[in-house]
């Protein structure tokens, strides 16, 4: 609920691993901008999850891929997402939903987050049909075997994927 005098800016947190950011993520982000005044793309710092790109690299790739948007910010967080959302004054958590296979995990996450903080709503947006089968992991796998991932990730990500995989990680 919005009370008199409260900040009218509607901020959403779009959390994820973004290892790396894909055009599917950017599609959700752009759709989210029609609902929110500001979106914070927040990368979870999770040392126990093996990632291809370091947090620093992921931040850079996200920043470069979103630089044309004034109301998109890139940040990192650790700990509970709802605590981070509260600290940022966010009203919502934004997540993308592709196929039914995403549903169970997303449902669990959203309900746990609601239990932890009832003031932060989870908002799911459907990706465009062209991104329905893309995911960071499938893109990494294709790129590792020299598959063409152009058009599925921003050009800078495609370049960095090639460099990284050529270096043998
Ligand atoms: O891109 P991902 O890996 O699907 O993103 C998962 C993410 C970062 C949204 C989720 O793991 C998360 O929010 N982790 C932070 C810890 C937390 O608050 N977990 C949910 C309640 S236990």
4 Cα–ligand 1 center, Å: 32
> Is 136 a known active-site residue?
yes
Pairing state of beta strands 38-44 and 121-126? unpaired
CB 53 within 8 A of CB 64: no
Determine the pLDDT at residue 39.
98
Q: What is the pTM of this model?
A: 0.94
Question: For 7-52, how does the pLDDT look when each residue is reduced to its tens digit (9 = 90+)?
Answer: 679 999 999 999 999 999 999 999 999 999 999 999 999 989 999 9
Determine the pLDDT at residue 1.
60
Atom of ligand 1 nearest to the CA of 82: 18
132 Cα–ligand 1 center, Å: 21
> Is 25 a known active-site residue?
yes
Q: Indicate the top mutation candidate among 43, 44, 134 to test ligand 1's pocket, ranked by most ligand atoms within 8 A of CB.
A: 44
Determine the pLDDT at residue 106.
96
Determine the pLDDT at residue 65.
98
Determine the pLDDT at residue 99.
85
Distances (CA, A) of 100 to 57, 103, 104, 169: 31, 5, 8, 32
Determine the pLDDT at residue 165.
85
Determine the pLDDT at residue 6.
62
CB 136 within 8 A of CB 154: no
Query: How do the pLDDT tens digits run along the chain, 169 residues long?
Result: 656 656 679 999 999 999 999 999 999 999 999 999 999 999 999 989 999 999 999 999 999 999 999 999 999 999 999 999 999 999 999 999 988 889 999 999 999 999 999 999 999 999 999 999 999 999 999 999 999 999 999 999 999 999 998 766 5
> Is 50 a known active-site residue?
no
* Ligand 1 atom 4 nearest Cα: 16
Q: Is the CB of 97 under 6 A from ligand 1?
A: no
């Amino acid at each position: 609920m919005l009370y008199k005098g409260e900040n009218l800016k509607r901020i959403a947190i779009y959390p994820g691993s973004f290892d790396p950011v894909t055009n599917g993520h950017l599609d959700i982000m752009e759709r989210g901008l029609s609902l929110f005044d500001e979106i914070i793309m927040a990368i979870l710092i999770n040392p126990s999850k093996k990632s291809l790109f370091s947090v620093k690299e992921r931040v850079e790739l996200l920043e470069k891929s979103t630089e044309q948007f004034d109301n998109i910010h890139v940040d990192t967080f650790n700990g509970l997402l709802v605590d981070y959302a509260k600290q940022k004054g966010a009203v919502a958590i934004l997540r993308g939903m592709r196929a039914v296979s995403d549903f169970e995990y997303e449902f669990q996450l959203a309900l746990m987050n609601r239990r932890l903080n009832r003031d932060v709503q989870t908002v799911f947006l459907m990706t465009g049909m062209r991104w329905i089968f893309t995911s960071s992991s499938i893109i990494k796998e294709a790129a590792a075997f020299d598959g063409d991932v152009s058009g599925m990730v921003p050009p800078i990500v495609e370049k960095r994927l090639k460099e990284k995989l050529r270096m043998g990680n």
